[in-house]
Every structure is written in structure tokens, then in C-alpha cells.
Amino acid sequence: MAEDLIKDNVNKDIVVLSIESSCDETSAAVVKNGREVLSNIIATQIDIHKRYGGVVPEIASRNHVDCISTVVDEALNKAGTTLDDIDLVACTYGPGLVGALLVGLSTAKAMAYSAKKPFLGVHHIEGHIAANYITHKDLEPPYICLVVSGGHSNLVYVKDYTEFEILGRTRDDAVGEAFDKVSRVIGLEYPGGPKIDKLAKEGKPTYKLPKTFFEDSLDFSFSGIKTAVINLVHKEGDKINVPDLCASFEEAVTDVLLSNLLKACEMKGTTKVALAGGVSANSYLRSRLDKMGEENNLMIYYPELVYCTDNAAMIGAAAYFDYIAGKTSGWDLNAIPYLKLGDKLRK
Ligand code: KG4
Ligand code: ZN
């Protein structure tokens, strides 16, 4: 494998301590050689934010501060390592909530500086993509990755471990955002994705919802589907069949995602496809993608469920590939809330 050749040059195992705190999960992990997870501790704040119907940034930052030290200690202990055994300290530096990002970033820098270890900032979405390397030890670029999270929806051509080309992106809501907004309107708790996933299994896609496709572009738009659901709920009131609505919403979103994904495969002449991000946990999306894979002779990869939503192991995986490609970050690295995929490459 290409990475074995690079690693031979480094000539030793690389153990990364990684931190993720971009939204409402405080997580720390110890990952060996980008694919082997020695520990992955996740402290989720979902129960705290539930009562507000979504993530409250200031509350998220405060909770990260409260638990980051414990989470990092636990990750090191569970992996049976001390900071001495660590080769690199990595953390997410964007995109995400600025206050939340700063907690992980300051912790990672302080730990790396005090232990005289190199430090590296990781792009959150590159982390989501790299989650696939943990689950699939044989997965190598190039492939197409459909990144569907709460904040992002991108069709990415993964040229190499550290090289990404965006083929399409959402022009308005991210897929996960649409799931969460629709679920709020039908009275389900935050985060809505898993609840819609479950209810849709009891329903049929009987409601007609609009699907947006752009000519000569693989971009997405989900605000039309979301607005149509909101209008339908207001019009029908109690008469609405919630499981059918969930099934219809999932079908409309999945039709759009998979249609563009197939076009991207044709465009790049690739038969390897990976899913990434929180919405890649969706069972309907997975089953439709499996079917599409069978019909079109595609090889399909998904991360295990625990690595779909935010976690630090995926950040440790991405950091490893950056590190063996010769990258580290300076102590002046700041949190970048709107960091775009590929920005790092232009530095
Ligand atoms: O990747 P992630 O943990 O955070 C971001 O980076 O945004 O994604 C969270 C999103 C939420 O919108 C949540 O509703 C959605 O992933 N999600 C799901 C499922 N599990 C999580 N959406 C659909 N079906 C699921 N099973
Ligand atoms: Zn995420």
C-alpha cells in the first residue's frame, strides 16, 4: 500500500492523541498509524442542548471546558499510554463553533507544547472522510466521498489522503440541518436525524416533495424539501401521517444525494464510493446506496456508526495522513469557524 511505503520512511509506529470539540461532542482519542483506534472517548452534550431544540454555542463552549481534561485523561488511560508515548497531538481547528473549537485547540496546543511534541490542526470534514480508514483497513484513494453532516453536504473527490476536490456542495441547508429542522416541525427531539430514521421505517413515501437538481452542476439544495414539509405540516395539522412524512422526506433527500453521487462517479470514472458525516448513519440512505452499488458495480464503504457522528478518532486518522505527508501546525494556529475543505492545501 502507498501508505506503507511512506510509513517505512518514517520507520516507526505513529501514535496520535487527537481532540474534537467543534460542536456538541467533547472527544479525545489515541490512534495508531491512522487506522487502529486505541481509545475513543466521547462526552456528548445532546441531553443538555435537547431542551433548546438545537446546539446553543455558549453552553457548548462551557461544557467543553468542564469536561475536556477528564476526557483527554480517560483517552490516554484507556489506551494504556502517557503523553510520553504520543508522537503527535492533533485537534480540529475548523469548521465549527468558534468558542467550542477554541477549547480543544487550546488544550491540544498546551499539551503538545508542554510535552515538546509536534502539534497539528485538522479539518473537521477531512476527519469525517478519514473515519472510513478506521473501519476499512484496505480503503485507499482515489474514491468519491459523499459527506453528509449537520453542517455540511459535499460531494468530494478524494484524490489522495490529503488532497480533495469538491465536486458539489449544498447551496443552502446541509442534509443533517434539514433532518433536524424537519424533525423540530413535527415535534421530535433534537437531534432529529436518528428519530426520523426510526419513524420512517414504519411509514411509506406517500407525500410528494420537491427535489432540486441544477443543470451542469453537482450542487445540492435542500431548503425546498424542508419548506415543503413545513408547509404540509401547517396545512394538514393533526391529520399528518408522521411515519409517512418521514419516509417521504428521506426518499426525496436520498434521491437527490444518490443521483448526484452517481453522476460524480461517472464524471471521475471511479467505482469506489464512501459515505461520511452524521447522516451517513441513516439506514435508508445506506440501504439505497447498497442497492445503487449492486446495480452499478460500485464498491461502497461506510464508517461504523460510532465513527459517523463527531468523534476524535476520525481526527487522529486524518492527522496521521497529514503528518506522514510532512505537515505540522504552528503555535499561532487559530480556530477557523468557516474553514473550507481544501483551504489548507492553498496555505
Ligand atoms: O457529523 P455530525 O455528528 O456533526 C456535524 O459535523 O455536523 O452530524 C450530526 C448530524 C445531525 O444533523 C443529526 O441529525 C444527523 O447527523 N444524524 C442522522 C442520523 N444520525 C445522526 N441523520 C439521519 N439519520 C441518522 N441515523
Ligand atoms: Zn461533524
Domain ranges of the chain: 2-130+308-324, 138-304
Report CA(172)–ligand 1 centroid distance (Å): 17
pLDDT at 347: 38
Q: Is the pLDDT of residue 18 over 50?
A: yes
Q: Rounded to whole angstroms, how far apart are CA atoms 227 and 330?
A: 44
- Apex 253 CA angle, 250 and 257, nearest 5: 130
Indicate if the pLDDT at residue 236 is higher than 60. yes
**Residues 30, 76: contact at Cβ < 8 Å?**
yes
> Which numbered atom of ligand 1 lies nearest the CA of 283?
26
Q: Are 90 and 19 contacting, i.e. CB atoms less than 8 angstroms apart? A: yes
Q: State the DSSP string of 79-116.
A: HT--GGG-SEEEEEEESS-HHHHHHHHHHHHHHHHHTT
Q: Measuring CA to CA, which residue among 60, 135, 99 is closest to residue 317?
A: 135
Q: Which protein residues are within 6 Å of ligand 1, measured from CB?
A: 23, 149-151, 176, 179-180, 191-194, 197, 277-279, 281-282, 309-310
- Torsion region of 277: left, alpha or beta (phi above 0 gives left; psi -120 to 50 gives alpha): left
pTM of the model: 0.94
pLDDT tier at 344, thresholds 50, 70, 90: low
Q: Mean of the pLDDT values across residues 38-43?
A: 98
**Does the pLDDT of residue 149 top 60, yes or no?**
yes
CA of 279 to the centre of ligand 1 (A): 4
For residue 170, what is the DSSP state? B
Please give all residues whose CB falls under 5 A of ion ligand 2, grouped by chain where several chains appear. Answer: 149, 310
Angle, vertex CA 186, rays to CA 184 and CA 192, nearest 5: 45
| Helix (H) and strand (E) counts in the chain | 11, 10
From ligand 1's centre to the CA of 191, what distance in Å?
Answer: 7
If one compares 6 and 233, the residue with the highest pLDDT of the two is: 233
Give, using CA atoms, the residue closest to atom 16 of ligand 1: 278
- Residue 192 alpha carbon to ligand 1 centre in Å: 8
In angstroms, the CA 260 to CA 109 distance is 40
CB 152 within 8 A of CB 23: no
Do the domains at 2-130+308-324 and 138-304 have one common CATH topology?
yes
Residue 1: the pLDDT is 43
What pLDDT, on a 0 to 100 scale, did the predictor assign at position 249?
Answer: 98
What is the distance between the alpha carbons of residues 70 and 281, in angstroms, rounded to a whole number?
A: 27
Q: What is the pLDDT of residue 172?
A: 96
pLDDT tens for each residue of 165-211: 999 999 999 999 999 999 999 999 888 999 999 999 999 999 999 99
Pick the ligand that lies closest to the CA of residue 25: 1
Q: What are phi and psi of 144, to 5 degrees?
A: -100, 135
> What do you get for the CA distance between the two ends of the chain, in Å?
28
In the CATH hierarchy, which fold is given to the domain comprising 138-304?
Nucleotidyltransferase; domain 5 (3.30.420)
Question: What's the 277 CA to ligand 2 centre distance in angstroms?
Answer: 6
**Whether pLDDT at 3 is above 60:** no
343 pLDDT more than 70: no
Task: Give the position, in ligand 1's atom list, of the atom nearest the Cα of 192.
Answer: 14
C-alpha to C-alpha distance for 158 and 174, rounded to whole angstroms: 20
Position 182 scores a pLDDT of: 94
φ and ψ of 161, to 5 deg: -55, -30
Measured N-to-C along each axis, helices 2-10 and 313-324 cross at an angle, to the nearest 10 degrees, of 70
Q: What is the pLDDT of residues 275-286, one digit of tens each?
A: 999 999 999 999
Please tell me the distance from the alpha carbon of residue 165 to that of residue 246, in angstroms, as a whole number.
32
Q: Ligand 1 atom closest to Cα of 310?
A: 3
CA-based Rg of the chain, rounded to a whole angstrom?
20
The residue whose CB lies within 8 Å of the most ligand 1 atoms, and thus the one to mutate among 21, 154, 179, is 179
What is the pLDDT, as a whole number, of residue 137?
A: 97
Assess whether pLDDT exceeds 80 at residue 266: yes
The pLDDT mean for the chain works out to 94
Residue of the nearest CA to atom 1 in ligand 1? 278
pLDDT recorded at residue 158: 98
Looking up cell 485538522 gives 122
Give residue 20 CA to ligand 2 midpoint distance, Å: 9
CA-closest candidate to residue 257, choices 309, 222, 305: 222
Report the residue among 175, 222, 279 best suited for mutation to probe ligand 1: largest number of ligand atoms under 8 A from its CB: 279
CATH class for the region spanning 2-130+308-324: alpha beta
